[in-house]
A = this chain, B = another copy of it.
Amino acid sequence: MAVTKISRSTQAKQSVLALIEEANIALSHADIEEQLNVKCNRVTIYRILDRLVEDDKIHKLVDMDGVSKYMACVACNDDHHHHHHLHFSCKQCEQVSCLHHIIPSFQLPKGYSMHELNFTVRGICVDCESTSP
């Protein structure tokens, strides 16, 4: 069993979490490094992100181009921490957003068990669709 370390509340951690919670799109490490308004080392941001995922404060997802992005937990509570809805990755604006209400329906074959789900659609989002003819 893994030893569960106590999580400390530091300014850097609070700021990173606030940034992710205020964003309505998924942020990459680079996005966070760029937008963070407190002095914080690159490596520290990586470790904070890992810690927040471990503490079930945020979700990590891998975009279709292989880039890791992070989103706040929205509908998660103590009982369930999952991210089973659809993620939309726009080819034009390059933004990844959650479509919380869209949950795919499917059935795993007998013998398989699910722990995580990555369900990402790549295409053109509604904002880009409406701004370009």
Contact = CB atoms under 8 A, between A and B. Distances in A.
Interface of A: 62-68, 86, 88, 91, 99, 102-126, 129-130
Q: How many copies does the complex hold?
A: 2
B88 A99 contact: no
Contact of A66 (B62, B104, B129): B62
Nearest to A104: B104
Nearest to A60: B64
21 contacts: A62-B62, A62-B66, A64-B116, A64-B118, A86-B108, A88-B108, A99-B109, A102-B107, A105-B106, A108-B121, A108-B123, A110-B126, A111-B130, A112-B126, A116-B121, A116-B122, A116-B123, A117-B122, A118-B121, A119-B119, A119-B120
